[in-house]
Structure 1
Amino acid sequence: MKTSIIKEQFSIDYILNSSVKILFNRLSCPLGLSEWFADNVTLKDDIFTFHWGKHSQKARLLSVKEPDYIRFKWIDNKANESENDYYFEFQVFQDDLTGDVHLTVTDFASPDEIEDAKILWDTQINDLIRLIGA
């Protein structure tokens, strides 16, 4: 019998000084993602492969609505992809009143790993902010 780990959804909101178009490009295309998220990113059909040193991980593109959001699902070679509803998503919107561009990252982690996951996202997004000068 398989024991599955129950993960909880969490979201983190960042305010960036960037155009929506420039930001979304860095979130949605292999070249943009390889500038801040992974050492290299490739795309074949709807499968993104993220490379970090000798490690790689695949994610399926679940949905995209440019320039509003993009949603990925990690593909675990050990488990059936349809066994869970976990995903990670980048959502972008511009506040009409202030003009601020918001990036919301939604992800899932086990309850005891949520804080570590948030720290990891903070590190990644800080790399993105430095890259785009936001």
Structure 2
Amino acid sequence: MDKVKFEVEIAIKASPNMIYQYISSPSNLQEWFADKVNARGKIFSFVWEGEEELAELIIKKSDDRIRFKWLESEGDDSFFEMKIQVDALTKDVSLIVTDFADDEDDVEEAKQLWESQVEELKHTIGA
């Protein structure tokens, strides 16, 4: 069964450079995204409540975006990406998260989880 792609866009009052530091480095990801984060080369280990998930770093563009592919989802096109967007006119900064849910019923819950995580990020960086 195909996964359902979704996006969440959340405004963050912080510089793209600061946000990028918090979405790309294991130690900073550990402050807001997962209980524990380690990286060996392109493989990142994310731990939540004792459960480890492995993801491969697919794209890393400085001050722009980072994209991971869960190793357990090798057989599909799913990924999760955190992209920094700056409005050309207002200079407002947003974090756009693209992710996949197992089915349509899981999309709202997954969006809420991301919104909660990004709120934690905002709290961590004082945005």
TM-score w.r.t. the length of structure 2 is 0.95
Matches within 5 A, 1:1-80: 5-76=1-72
Identity %: 40
1:69-108 to structure 2, matched below 5 A, reads: 69-76=65-72, 81=74, 83-108=75-100
2:104 is aligned with 1:111? yes
- Greater than 2 Å deviation, 4+ residue runs: none
Corresponding letter in the other structure for 2:120: D
1:132 aligns with 2:122: no
Q: Of the two, which has the highest radius of gyration?
A: 1
Letter in 1 for 2:51: H
Question: Shift of the alpha carbon at 1:43?
Answer: 0.2
2:34 aligns to what SS in structure 1? coil
CA contact (8 A) 2:58 2:69 kept: yes
Alignment-mate amino acid for residue 119 of structure 2: N
- Residue identity in the other structure for 2:116: T
Letter in structure 1 aligned against 2:105: D
Is residue 2:114 matched to residue 1:121? yes
Distance 1:90 1:121 in 2: 10
Unaligned runs of 5+ in 1: none
CA distance in 2, matches of 1:89, 1:124: 14
Quote the Cα distance in structure 2 between the aligned partners of 1:9 and 1:52: 23
Matched residue count: 126
Aligned-residue offset at 1:17:
0.4
- CA distance in structure 1 between the aligned counterparts of 2:49 and 2:97, rounded to whole angstroms: 24
Q: Which SS does the other structure have where 2:32 is aligned? A: coil
Distance (whole Å) between structure 2 residues aligned to residue 53 and residue 93 of structure 1: 31
Counterpart residue identity of residue 120, structure 1: L
